[in-house]
Amino acid sequence: MDLNTWQDLISDWYENRKHDQVERLEAILYQAPESVFGPELTDEQSKAIACWLDGCLRVFQYARYQNHQKAYQTLQYTSAKLEQAACQPMTDILIKDWSLKRLQHLTVLALEFCNQQQDQ
């Protein structure tokens, strides 16, 4: 799938979304083409990676209190994809920087989430 087709899918989900359509959102997120993560920085790529991250965080929030394993897996998947983008030698430095900053936030979020699980 190319970037424009994927952006059309995610944009359609945002325009017509319902909170119970998380499964549909997940399917779209897992179909994200590699061009979402680089290597070239374009306006389309920038919007796509931001929408992808927002979608992943929505899936996490949805699963957070109902399905702890799925919530944690979502955080790990999201972190792994950003880590992968940051480690690619040909990826634009601004994408790497953006990915690493978001990865720091995700790491804190994962630690907080794990601490909450221990309290329960």
The pLDDT score that the predictor gives to residue 38 is 96
Q: How far apart are CA 28 and CA 88, in angstroms?
A: 23
3-state helix, strand, coil in the chain (%, to 5): 80, 0, 20
pLDDT 10s digit of each residue in the chain, 120 long? 999 999 999 999 999 887 678 999 999 999 999 999 999 999 999 999 999 999 999 999 999 999 999 999 999 999 999 999 999 999 999 999 999 999 999 999 999 999 998 666
